[in-house]
Amino acid sequence: MADIKLFGKYSWDDVSVNDKGLVNYVSVQPVHFPHSFGRHARKQFSKIKVNIVERLVNKLMRGGTGEKLSGKVIRTHGQLQGKKTVAIKIVEDAFDIISKRTKSNPIQVLVDAVKNSAPREDITRVQFGGVSYQVAVDVSASRRVDMALRNIALATIMQSFAKKKTMAEALADELILAGKGDANSYAIKKRDDVERIARGAR
């Protein structure tokens, strides 16, 4: 396993998941190329076996937000839907930028970004006697990872939409900020918002 490097550049040896709640849900199984060709599809809970880099790639292949943000509907206009090799190239370029800027392993930066931007509390709606209430609930580890990756991918699409910044640059910026736990990160802001609303619903 020691000679397996992501994109032939980045080692998996020193990558660790420091959050004990996410250890079994963030897969850092060494791979050369983040593409499992759907072998885990249609199997319940099998996505936790998919490498964390591939899960980020999959989250990037979305059509946008589907809602208005800052008065505009953010869309990728079909640039990434179903085009996994394009999304993988974006992630590879982003990792190159992270490696140059931080002089650290970009896989570890991604793992730290997921850990820092994964909310621990959320709200759900319950109904008693025809009256609905919002109740604070703990978030499962699997959903924590999903929400973190979704917000990182959404931040990438928003920051590169109709701007000179490329998606690779936007992804690199977001991962670096989230990896540090910086409050300027969109994913960190979303985590704080979710947890703040949950605290109010306790």
Residue 97 pLDDT: 92
Q: Which two tokens stand for residue 71?
A: 């008065």
Residue 121's domain comprises 5-200
Helical segments of 44-202, H only:
52-60, 84-102, 106-117, 141-160, 167-180, 186-200
Residue 17 has pLDDT above 80, yes or no: yes
Q: How many domains does the chain have?
A: 1
- Write down the pLDDT at residue 71: 47
What would the pLDDT profile of 56-88 be if each residue is shown by its tens digit? 888 888 765 555 555 455 555 555 666 788 888
- Range name among 13-17, 73-77, 84-88, 158-162 with the lowest pLDDT average: 73-77
Q: What is the mean pLDDT of the chain?
A: 83
Over residues 87-136, the pLDDT tens digits come to 889 899 999 999 999 889 999 999 999 999 989 888 888 888 888 888 88
Residue 176 sits in a domain whose CATH number is 1.10.455.10
pTM, two decimal places: 0.84
- Long-range residue pairs from 69-75, CB within 8 A, at least 24 positions apart, any chain: 69/158, 72/161, 72/162, 74/157, 74/158, 74/161, 75/161
